Structure 1
């Protein structure tokens, strides 16, 4: 049974359409991340699920119950906000207990719940402190603890880590993932950070301009993007987009023509591009698919090496990002640090076209084609 079902939900403020027909469904125990740029509608959707806002049309089902007409307190949800929303005059213990006291949970049960939550989140030594005496990460743990004390059907997280510094954000992200793995709770998590979306979610819904651009697993979103927006938004550094012409290949099938100041070469495609022969498309290829040459791989289908000019090298520690230019477009390659070339010179780069994708240059939609059989 689905823990959450969103059916054709729309939301408008006057003539401004914020959500344009959202359809999503997740099973109990799953972790769904809603990701997209600012203003895409993800927080509005979360507020509608929570009951803080009403949809203009459509349905929200939690379990098998339509909750459109229910107030937030009757939806059996718990929400963790970006701002923590802790009561400053109460210590940690009372912040966690507040919701239990409102629902008149027996005192003995309250104490057991606080002890369990405190051990789980490793905040036993903070129970008598007030929020002003806590760090940002500690406050976020308390906010999570208050939500966990409820044991609801659905947890809603609204960009809970955006106020934390980069290092703490990484550690808290791991804590949230481990917590979900232990408790198997159902979570809907809003973020604008695609790294959070990829690392946390069982499923990702990529939103833009009030519409779901793609819904799927992190692997599907990353390796099989539905359109150029998704391909560009997911991935750091983002996918390369190279305008190019489809040509016949020297062996079998088709390829795309690449040009730079050092000359021309053709990258073979893994599929039947005949409908676009002689036409222009956009090649989408991720930086890790353009890397230093590994000689043993050059015999693989779809893999080839070509000398390319080096314009810039950016060491990142485990690898180096090399900037080149192809078809008058900036292209990033990810190479091993000891293989990086020298700016102003050329270096051999290996292109792996097996996971490359193609887009319509006008609409940005993904071009689908039949894969060619191996020779």
Structure 2
């Protein structure tokens, strides 16, 4: 039995189905990310795990217990909110120990727990301050400390970093990952930020309109997206989607690409014959920006590489890389190149396409073909 098991969970409000049969399971010590755009149902699902909202049908298990009808206090969980939810009149020490006080934990034991938590989160020097004297990052650490002090079987994080500025968000993301590695806690973490999802999660559930579009490890979801939504949502910059006609090519098939005055047919090396029934039809050819880069010496080119000369329409320096945009089949395609090799807008550039991880989608159903 996993640490958390969600089986065919549904939620309806006034006849409208909000969650449409969610099935997820994680083991003890895993960090599950629920990610998706606003309104996809991820926070509703978290509230149902916490007991703050009811389940219309289905089953939620925490450990070996079905918790559908248990109150939040009986589920052995701790929750960290984006708003921190600290008591303004209490010191940091009092905020962390408040839950222990309610549970009638002895004063000496409370002190030990608070000191251990403060050491873990490096907030020992803040224990006698009040929330108004803390920065946003410090407040979030205190909120996490209050949850850790309870030593629950399951931690629930509801977009805990969304109120922080970009730099602090990165720092806190690292701290949460390190904390998880040190403590081995089981966490369900809600976010709309795909970078948080990729960097923090052991498992990711990508949600849209009340359904799980794909569930797997970060690398599985990034390399093998199940549909156009997942492919476009996960990754920054997002995957390029190029409408392209399938053509016969030797014993296999390829996709026809036009850019400037040039036409190419790139072999569909990762499709394993699955495009045969699509010959003469249009598919969506998906390729990530890092799989299109500047041309290197021929001796370094792998067997699944294809080269093309394309006109540059825009450049975006990012520091370590430069993003260049080129027109392909009427779409602007983003490529990631070394700054030293980038050409100026209006110039042609020799580019190299790594076709080994290219993917192909049905333009009507938006599902993955190959």
The alignment's TM-score, normalised by the length of structure 1, stands at: 0.96
Equivalent residues in 2 for 1:170-209 (5 A)? 170-209=170-209
Which residue is equivalent to 2:126? 126
Alignment partner of 1:30 is 2:15: no
With over 3 angstroms needed to count, the CA separation of the structure-2 counterparts of 1:311 and 1:228, relative to structure 1, is: same
Which residue is equivalent to 1:101? 101
Alignment partner of 1:75 is 2:90: no
The alignment's TM-score, normalised by the length of structure 2, stands at: 0.98
Which residue is equivalent to 1:304? 306
Q: What are the superposed Cα offsets for residues 207-235 of structure 1, whole Å, 9 maximum, x if unpaired?
A: 00000000000000000000010000000
Secondary structure of 2:3's counterpart equals: strand
Alignment partner of 1:354 is 2:345: no
Q: Structure 2 CA distance, aligned partners of 1:215 and 1:80?
A: 23
Q: Structure 2 CA distance, aligned partners of 1:343 and 1:141?
A: 46
Which residue is equivalent to 2:261? 262
Is 1:76–1:153's contact at 8 Å kept on the other side of the alignment? yes
Which residue is equivalent to 1:52? 52
Equivalent residues in 2 for 1:286-301 (5 A)? 286-296=288-298, 299-301=301-303
Farther off after superposition, 281-290 or 9-18: 9-18
Is 1:298–1:305's contact at 8 Å kept on the other side of the alignment? no
Which residue is equivalent to 1:217? 217
Which residue is equivalent to 1:366? 368
Runs of 5+ consecutive residues of structure 2 not aligned to the other structure = none
Secondary structure of 1:2's counterpart equals: coil
Q: Structure 2 CA distance, aligned partners of 1:333 and 1:264?
A: 18
Q: What are the superposed Cα offsets for residues 250-284 of structure 1, whole Å, 9 maximum, x if unpaired?
A: x5421100012222011111131211111110000
Farther off after superposition, 256-265 or 38-47: 256-265
Counterpart among 296, 315, 318 of residue 316 in structure 1? 318
Shift of 1:298: 6.5
Q: Structure 1 CA distance, aligned partners of 2:354 and 2:265?
A: 12
Runs of 5+ consecutive residues of structure 1 not aligned to the other structure = 369-375
Q: Structure 2 CA distance, aligned partners of 1:181 and 1:349?
A: 40
Secondary structure of 1:128's counterpart equals: coil
Equivalent residues in 2 for 1:125-144 (5 A)? 125-144=125-144
Shift of 1:354: 0.3
Secondary structure of 1:238's counterpart equals: coil
Is 1:30–1:185's contact at 8 Å kept on the other side of the alignment? yes
Q: Which runs of 4+ in 1 moved over 4 A?
A: none
Is 1:80–1:157's contact at 8 Å kept on the other side of the alignment? yes
Counterpart among 321, 338, 341 of residue 339 in structure 1? 341
Is 1:262–1:309's contact at 8 Å kept on the other side of the alignment? no
Farther off after superposition, 63-72 or 251-260: 251-260
Secondary structure of 2:129's counterpart equals: coil
Is 1:297–1:303's contact at 8 Å kept on the other side of the alignment? no
Q: Structure 2 CA distance, aligned partners of 1:18 and 1:229?
A: 19
Which residue is equivalent to 1:152? 152
Secondary structure of 1:178's counterpart equals: helix
Is 1:319–1:336's contact at 8 Å kept on the other side of the alignment? yes
Is 1:282–1:359's contact at 8 Å kept on the other side of the alignment? yes
